[in-house]
A and B are shown apart, each in its own frame.
Chain A
């Protein structure tokens, strides 16, 4: 009698009826899908451990690639948002101040004219010495 599930040869035919009877102990004897289901169940239960092992064995390149996969879209999104915010803020751009304008800003006109006078050019003049 042929092996109903493995098809593999048997060497000892001393007790053929026992060999044939033992076949009923195979769960796949009545349920053709039994072994496939068992394999799937084991694979499903093994998934977390396999994932842990994959993460542990990842190469430097794979780690960088993994980071890049997350970071590049995030950076692109951030850049897009920034551009959107800038475009929506329609305020006119202010003229940048020159350095001398910045240094003189807030100083009253009489002070400025005194500083610009020929006497002022002779020596250092402090703003506190200027008489109005």
Chain B
């Protein structure tokens, strides 16, 4: 995708209240923000809430974004913090832990139960990874960010990103090995 307007320009215009500029920033980063929020919360619904909340917080504090060209990284920090707060609030509210994916099933019907089950298993497997690995694997495999982009926005060395991604995938593969979906994908390949 060719970006004709830089993030910095969009941030400056959004600071002046230009809705189109802010809308463009949402379009560019909502998937990545969701991926980071999902990595922290482990729940689609919470990730959705954290994503929306983070964009609003970012808009209210746009003047604090000292490097508008690096809006993406700044936003991801907000998403991470908001998501952690959300998890803490949820933990305080609930004495009994809700199984991962349970809330996903409660809200809205899933068209495909097999997909829902796969999603639940994946969410469970992701829970077993360190937060940074969850973020990296989701940003890379869900959002399609490149190693370089992830490294820049998470402020990590590219080699570390590559290594985290490798170990995260290996762990997920081990966790899901033997599942029928893995088998069917292997058969198709």
| A contact set with B: CB distance below 8 Å | 3, 5-12, 14-27, 29-30, 35, 38-39, 41-43, 45-47, 49-57
Residues of A contacting B162 with CB < 8 Å? 12
- A42 contacts across to B, CB distance below 8 A: 26, 30, 52, 55-56
Within the complex, the shortest CB–CB distance from B5 to chain A, in Å, comes to 17
Given A49-B60, A54-B17, the answer on whether A24 and B143 have CB atoms closer than 8 Å is no
Contact check, A15 vs B19: say whether CB atoms are below 8 A apart. Answer: no
A6 touches B140 (CB 8 A): no
Q: Tell me which residues across on chain A come within 8 A of B185, comparing CB atoms.
A: 16-17, 20-21
Say whether A22 contacts B17, CB under 8 Å.
Answer: no
User: How many residues on B have C-beta within 8 angstroms of the other chain's C-beta atoms?
Assistant: 53
Question: Would you call B142 and A25 a contact (CB within 8 A)?
Answer: yes
Residues of B near A7 (CB, < 8 A) are 144
Instruction: Tell me which residues across on chain B come within 8 A of A51, comparing CB atoms.
Output: 17
A38 touches B48 (CB 8 A): yes
| Residue in B30, B59, B137, B143 whose beta carbon sits within 8 Å of that of A39 in the complex | B30
Q: Is B138 an interface residue, CB under 8 A from the partner?
A: yes
Instruction: Mark B residues whose CB is within 8 Å of A.
Output: 14-19, 22-23, 26-27, 30-31, 34, 38, 44, 48, 51-52, 55-56, 59-60, 110-112, 115, 118-119, 122-123, 137-138, 140-147, 162, 165-166, 169-170, 172-173, 176, 181-182, 185-186, 189
- Do the beta carbons of A22 and B137 come within 8 Å of each other? yes
Q: In the complex, which residues of chain A have a beta carbon less than 8 angstroms from the beta carbon of B141?
A: 10, 18-19, 22-23
Given A6-B143, A12-B140, A52-B17, residue A38 in contact with residue B118 (CB < 8 A): no
Closest to B114 in A: A24
**Quick one: given A20-B185, A50-B22, A57-B17, are A35 and B31 in contact (CB under 8 Å)?**
yes
Give the docked Cα–Cα distance between A35 and B23 (Å). Answer: 12
Q: What are 21 A-B residue pairs whose CB atoms fall within 8 Å in the complex?
A: A10-B144, A12-B147, A12-B169, A14-B166, A17-B182, A19-B169, A21-B185, A22-B137, A24-B115, A25-B119, A25-B142, A26-B31, A26-B142, A30-B115, A38-B52, A42-B52, A49-B60, A50-B59, A53-B16, A54-B16, A57-B17
